[in-house]
């Protein structure tokens, strides 16, 4: 058994060396750096609009790039495109499978996508010739549920699945172009970088991975969470990853330092994080929890500075508009609320 033991020893030793290299660059603690920064003070956001129309739990929402239209998915089997400002429903799309877990709005505004326990990602064309919204493609190849999807453009979409892989699809041909495998647990969520060259995924193996879309390779892996990672997003400057986990904490991992820099936790929080979104400047992080609330964190001081209380059930999804004007929360109580 000489070789295997040797190799295993080598793998362990490398792990220790990497740990040491990370420690070596960790030359300062957060409180030291931010001691001079002004405090944010209490942040009070109010509900400005309530979007009513779904008849069951809302599982996902996503803003369009115009910061007014958004799409939401509910287990009543509907995908609704809202003009959130007027609260009008622009489209109400009936789904073949009501077990939907995610939805996405294309940057162009021409399409929306959704998927869930049917293991498929269904793409809907919103700008069809006769005005009806129809299924354009059904992307089927995953062997597990679809947990998240995000468009790169009108021709490409990235999906994450309960089969532990993520995939890049060509929408026109309906085929998988690249499979990103490496996670050891269900992939729960993903986020695409602003330059569309990379994306990050969070999984039930408690790690987050940064992937190069073109190469199909995992560039970095971040561990430290003690339970499933449910939510993930990029910090607005693109250099850090924010994760939210069932262990009740959110973490910020820096891509350049290759390690966790900040943890957002409080001993009074005993339930998991379901969703998160940073404000435009990144100074605030809004995180939805299993206990029906949304906490607002000061991202630099790692302190809670506010709460969005208003839902009667778990906050399942949260999103901040691209122009930073408002935040939207979706809940199992079947309502979406717009806050600022």
Partner 1 sequence: MLNCENAHGDCDSSALAALCALCLQMERVIVSMQDPDMGMKMRNQRLLITVIPHAMTGNDIMEWLVQKYSIAEEEALHLGNLIVRYGYIYPLKDTRTLVLKPDETPYRFQHLFTSLPSQLSYSNFSLLILCDKAIYLAKKNIQKQGELVDYEKQNYNQLHKRINHTWDFVLMQAREQLRAAKQRRRADRVVLECQEQAYWLVNRPPVSCPQRPCLVCTALKHRTKALGRTRVKSSVCLESFLKYCEQYLPHDPIMQGCRPSNPWITDNTMYWSMNSDTVVTPTRLRVERWSFTFMELLSDPLGKREFLQYLEKEFSAENLCFWEACKDIRHGESSKITEKVDEVYTQFLAPGASRWVNIDSKTMEKTLQGIKNPHRFVLDDAQMHIYFLMKKDSYPRYLKSDLYKNMLAKAMVPQETKKSVFPFMRRQPRSSPSPVLTSQLSEENGKPKATSAGTSQV
Of 10, 138, 303, 312, the one binding partner 1 by CB under 8 A: 10
Give the residue from 289, 188, 288 showing the smallest Cα distance to 229. 188
CB 103 within 8 Å of CB 72? yes
Minimum Å gap between C-beta 77 and partner 1 is 30
Concatenate the DSSP letters of all residues of 80-116 into one string. Answer: EEEETTTTEEEEEEE-S-S-EEEEEE-TTSSEEEEEE
Using CB atoms within 10 A of its CB, is residue 335 exposed (0-12), middle (13-18) or buried (19+)?
buried
C-alpha angle 192/309/60, rounded to 5°?
35
With H, G, I as helix, E, B as strand and everything else as coil, classify residue 62.
strand
Tell whether residue 39 is a contact of partner 1 (CB under 8 A): no
CB 333 within 8 Å of CB 316? no
Minimum Å gap between C-beta 76 and partner 1 is 26
Give the residue from 296, 214, 202 showing the smallest Cα distance to 253. 202
Tell whether residue 338 is a contact of partner 1 (CB under 8 A): yes
Q: Which of residues 242-271 bind partner 1 (CB under 8 A)?
A: 254, 256-259, 261
Tell whether residue 8 is a contact of partner 1 (CB under 8 A): yes
Q: CA separation (Å) from 52 to 33, 158, 199, 274, 328?
A: 44, 29, 32, 21, 13
Tell whether residue 283 is a contact of partner 1 (CB under 8 A): yes
Q: Which stretch binds partner 1 (CB under 8 A): 3-11, 52-60, 128-136, 263-271?
A: 3-11
Q: CA separation (Å) from 165 to 159, 171, 202, 288?
A: 9, 18, 11, 25
Of 159 and 245, nearer to partner 1 (C-beta) is 245
Of 33 and 92, nearer to partner 1 (C-beta) is 33
Q: Which of residues 72-101 bind partner 1 (CB under 8 A)?
A: 85
Minimum Å gap between C-beta 107 and partner 1 is 9
Q: Which stretch binds partner 1 (CB under 8 A): 20-28, 54-62, 142-150, 263-271?
A: 20-28
Minimum Å gap between C-beta 51 and partner 1 is 13
Minimum Å gap between C-beta 95 and partner 1 is 26
Q: Which stretch binds partner 1 (CB under 8 A): 24-32, 90-98, 268-276, 310-318?
A: 24-32
Of 211 and 332, nearer to partner 1 (C-beta) is 211
Could you give the string, one character per residue 180-199, with x where binding to partner 1 holds by CB under 8 A and - elsewhere?
Answer: -xx-xx--------xxx---
Of 134 and 194, nearer to partner 1 (C-beta) is 194
Spell out a b/e string for 199-212, using b for 16 or more CB atoms within 10 Å of the CB, else e: bbbbbbbbbbbbbe
Of 87, 193, 221, 313, the one binding partner 1 by CB under 8 A: 221
Of 71, 204, 269, 287, the one binding partner 1 by CB under 8 A: 204
Give the residue from 304, 311, 243 showing the smallest Cα distance to 273. 243
Minimum Å gap between C-beta 170 and partner 1 is 6
How far is Cα 88 from Cα 69, in angstroms, rounded to an integer? 10
Sheet holding 100-105, edge to edge: 100-105, 111-116, 120-125, 134-140
Of 88, 132, 143, 239, the one binding partner 1 by CB under 8 A: 239
Tell whether residue 35 is a contact of partner 1 (CB under 8 A): no
Q: Which of residues 304-333 bind partner 1 (CB under 8 A)?
A: 320, 323-327
Q: Which of residues 149-168 bind partner 1 (CB under 8 A)?
A: 152-156
Tell whether residue 141 is a contact of partner 1 (CB under 8 A): no
Beta bridge partners of 165: 181
Q: List, in sequence order, the alpha helices (H) in the chain.
A: 2-25, 30-34
What secondary structure letter does DSSP report for 251? E
Of 266 and 323, nearer to partner 1 (C-beta) is 323
């Amino acid at each position: 058994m000489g070789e295997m033991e040797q190799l295993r020893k080598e793998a362990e030793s490398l792990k220790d060396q990497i740990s040491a290299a990370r420690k070596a660059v960790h030359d300062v603690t957060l409180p030291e750096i931010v001691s001079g920064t002004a405090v944010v003070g209490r942040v009070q956001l109010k509900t400005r609009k309530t979007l009513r129309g779904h008849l069951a739990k809302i599982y996902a929402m996503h803003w369009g790039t115009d910061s007014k239209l958004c799409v939401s998915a509910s287990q009543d089997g509907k995908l609704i495109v809202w003009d959130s400002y007027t609260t009008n429903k622009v489209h109400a799309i009936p789904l073949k499978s009501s077990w939907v877990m995610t939805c996405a709005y294309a940057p162009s505004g021409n399409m929306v996508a959704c998927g869930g326990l049917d293991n498929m990602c269904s793409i809907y064309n919103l700008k069809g010739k006769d005005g009806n919204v129809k299924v354009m493609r059904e992307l089927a190849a995953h062997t597990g549920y679809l947990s998240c999807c995000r468009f790169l453009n009108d021709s490409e979409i990235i999906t994450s699945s309960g089969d532990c892989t993520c995939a890049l699809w060509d929408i026109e041909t309906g085929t998988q172009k690249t499979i990103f495998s490496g996670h050891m647990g269900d992939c729960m969520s993903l986020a695409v970088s602003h330059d569309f060259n990379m994306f990050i995924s969070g999984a039930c193996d408690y790690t987050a991975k940064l992937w190069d879309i073109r190469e199909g390779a995992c560039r970095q892996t971040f561990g430290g969470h003690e339970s499933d990672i449910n939510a993930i997003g990029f910090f607005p400057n693109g250099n850090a990853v924010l994760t939210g986990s069932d262990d009740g904490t959110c973490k910020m991992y820096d891509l350049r330092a290759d390690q966790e820099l900040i943890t957002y936790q409080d001993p009074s929080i005993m339930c998991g994080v379901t969703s998160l979104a940073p404000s435009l400047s990144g100074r605030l992080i809004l995180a939805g929890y299993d206990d029906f609330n949304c906490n607002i964190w000061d991202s630099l001081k790692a302190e809670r500075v506010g709460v969005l209380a208003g839902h009667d059930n778990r906050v399942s999804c949260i999103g901040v508009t691209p122009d930073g004007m408002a935040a939207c929360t979706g809940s199992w109580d079947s309502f979406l609320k717009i806050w600022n």
